[in-house]
Amino acid sequence: MFAKLGHLIARRSKAVLLLSIIGTIFAGTIGTQVFSRFDTGGYSDPNSDSAKVWEYLEDNFGVTDPFVVMTITTPTGSVDDAEVEAKARVLESQVRAEPSADRVLSYWSALKPPSMRSTDGKSAFLFVYLKSSDFTEIDKNGGYYQDRYEGEFQGLTVRTAGDAIFANAINGRIQDDLKLAEAISIPLVFILLVIIFGALVASAMPLVIGVTAILGTFFGLYLLTLFTDVSVFALNLTTGLGLGLGIDYALLMVNRFREELQRGADRDTAIINTMKTAGRTVFFSGLVVMLTLISLIFFPLNFLKSMGYAGTIVVALAVIGAIFPLPALLHIIGTKVNKGLVRKRAIRQSDEGRWSAIARFVMKRPVPVVILSGLILTLFIAPIRGIEFSQVDSRVLPKSDPAYQASKFITDNFPGQESNPLEVIFPNGGTDPASVAEFSKQLAGVEGILRVSPPQVSGELVRVTAIHSMPPRSPEGQALITQIREIPTGVEHLVGGVAADYTDSQNGISRTLGWILLWVTIAVLVMLFGFTGSLLLPIKAVLLNFISLAATMGILTWIFVDGNLGFLVGDFINTGTLDTSSMVLIAIVAFGLSMDYEVFLLSRIKEEHDAGHSNIESVAFGLQKSARIITAAAFILAIVFAAFVTSGVTSIKMLGFGVAFAILLDATLVRAFLVPALMRLFGEWNWWAPKSLRRFKIEHS
């Protein structure tokens, strides 16, 4: 298959390259329109009880959330003073006149309920309900209301918060942070590429894959936004993986093409052999990564689904870029790939060198290497005992952000979670008012519940609202909802609200995670068995990956929960928890990329073993010819993701550090030491498989 593809590209290289360029330009022209269509939400389970409660509230009680929440503060006196009220009503009339405002409700127009006034009496709420529920409009309006009303108004201080403000703050910061990350990483990456490839022309090859993958993914995501919501965080994953895999695959393809030229092959033969070896490896590596990332689509949360969409598309397009336009370009330029030579050693290949020496050193003392590596990994894993999970809220923003400051002001100065009430719906409560009354009585006695409102009736539906003091997206909020749902009642009821939404999201992840782990494990085992024909190597690879992930989770806990290494990751608001969705994303992405490098390494070791070398010689030669590529690719990919640490959004900072650490750990300690040590211990058993399974091995001709 790959030999035939190599023949096709050798004969039609100019046509293949031209079609690729046209396709990339088309994708980029349309795809860049996606930036205004991203969603900052996606942390809810749409099939949960809390989602059903929201539908009941919207359809039967006409309840909508205020997308903009303003607080109006007087420096002296009280919000009940006539002068303060007069100024506040002027502000309210101005807000009500906004074309985007559907309804405006303030402390004063709502007849001064205590729940809308701060504990010190100097601040009060003003809620703005928007006409449009389109995310792009909500984002735009969030920026408008913040710019228009945040600050001083006739001696009063106005702060703006709410979903629209948060959406605008997150979107703006992520786009700005992405520009900063690229400004830092791209120059560094280019310098490293020149050093690693050793020639200016060769160092530009990753751009062929990276640009194809990134612009193509933008186009794919744009099409998806026509049918579903796509999280803005998919932007970071797209650029990170697009650049990273572009470098990975370009290193592999260019290195093999040079190797063939060095052996004296002509351009046609060099491309055909490159496709038969490196092209095949890229294809199977990408397939393994895709099978890993596609698992994110099966989570109920749209945030993780979005990452699954973006990850799957960008990997698929990176593979396409590596096996179509890149070899076509290599065929066209031929030996000119080494033009602009800056480091001669980089273009020479040999069976012996630094990495083969390391492999032989490790294989002479495999037991001490395994023990020492195990101790280091245990040290990394140890902090995981203190791990706590929560979900994204305004605290992912930096302390200096006005959206965070407004949200914190509300939390500090208003009783309970006034804008995040607990909602209980009794679908048939009208037929059993006694049970509803008994439930309300028990609800009022739950610790953390500040007050329970009288029931509201709409036909047979009954609504009970309660205000609680717990942060809704936190372990405390989850414990509160769990306790409330255990209250016995004689009538069916559904618990909703922000805290319930968070609880259902966490439960949705927990409920799905086991199946996802099973899918990823089986998919990787099957693919690696088909690729290597070995029963032992895939099992070893999966186990090492899980151990490596545990070490990554331990380090993230040590930093983002225990508060260490602040000088390295920068300032952030320490909530004492890790965002659950971000941790799932980091784990899946890191697992997929680790398998990427596993395929790189095993491909070359297997090639040497198939050539008749012993197990020890195969590992030594394979490591010599692949470890430089793996280490270089991992180091550059780590830089791409590590640049995200500069982000002001904690979850992006966490993603950048987590993936970078996992990549470096895997490419150094695991691939350079543990893998050769274990392969030495297993000996020829590395390549064993039952006769009944050997027929399922994928032939590489």
pLDDT, tens only, 280-294: 889 988 999 999 999
Q: Whole-model pTM?
A: 0.84
Non-local CB neighbours of 310 within 8 Å, separated by 6+ positions: 217, 221, 230, 234, 237, 238, 241
The answer as to whether 482 is a domain residue is yes
The Cβ of residue 36 has, within 10 Å, a number of other Cβ atoms equal to 12
3-state secondary structure 153-214: ECCEEEEEECHHHHHHHHHHHHHHHHHHHHHHHHHHHHHHHHHHHCEHHHHCHHHHHHHHHH
Residue in 179, 158, 167 with CA at minimum distance from that of residue 140: 167
pLDDT at site 290: 94
Number of domains in the chain: 2
Tokens matching residue 79: 């919000």
Indicate the residue type of 511: R
The answer as to whether 101 is a domain residue is yes
Regarding beta strands 578-579 and 389-390, do their DSSP bridges make them parallel or antiparallel, or are they unpaired? parallel
The Cβ of residue 114 has, within 10 Å, a number of other Cβ atoms equal to 11
Please state, in angstroms and rounded to a whole number, the distance separating the CA atoms of residues 553 and 447. Answer: 33
pLDDT, tens only, 568-599: 888 888 888 888 888 999 999 999 888 888 88
The answer as to whether 173 is a domain residue is no
Rg of the chain's alpha carbons, rounded to an integer? 29
Q: Where are the alpha helices (DSSP H) in 226-301?
A: 234-262, 267-274, 280-293
Helix (H, G, I), strand (E, B) or coil at 327: helix
* Enclosing domain of residue 484: 408-503
Tell me the β-bridge partners of 161: 69
Q: Which of 120, 142, 161 is at the close of a domain?
A: 161
The answer as to whether 652 is a domain residue is no
Please state, in angstroms and rounded to a whole number, the distance separating the CA atoms of residues 327 and 270. Answer: 10
The answer as to whether 462 is a domain residue is yes
Q: Which of 478, 503, 528 is at the close of a domain?
A: 503
Q: Which residues of the chain have pLDDT under 50?
A: 700-701
Residue 413 sits in a domain of what CATH number? 3.30.70
Please state, in angstroms and rounded to a whole number, the distance separating the CA atoms of residues 317 and 295. Answer: 18
Tell me the β-bridge partners of 156: 153
The answer as to whether 121 is a domain residue is yes
Q: Which of 452, 485, 503 is at the close of a domain?
A: 503
pLDDT, tens only, 355-394: 778 878 888 889 999 999 999 999 999 999 988 888 777 8
Residue 81 sits in a domain of what CATH number? 3.30.70.1430
Residue in 652, 134, 146 with CA at minimum distance from that of residue 403: 146
Non-local CB neighbours of 33 within 8 Å, separated by 6+ positions: 222
Q: How far is CA 244 from CA 238, 423, 626, 642, in A?
A: 10, 45, 17, 12
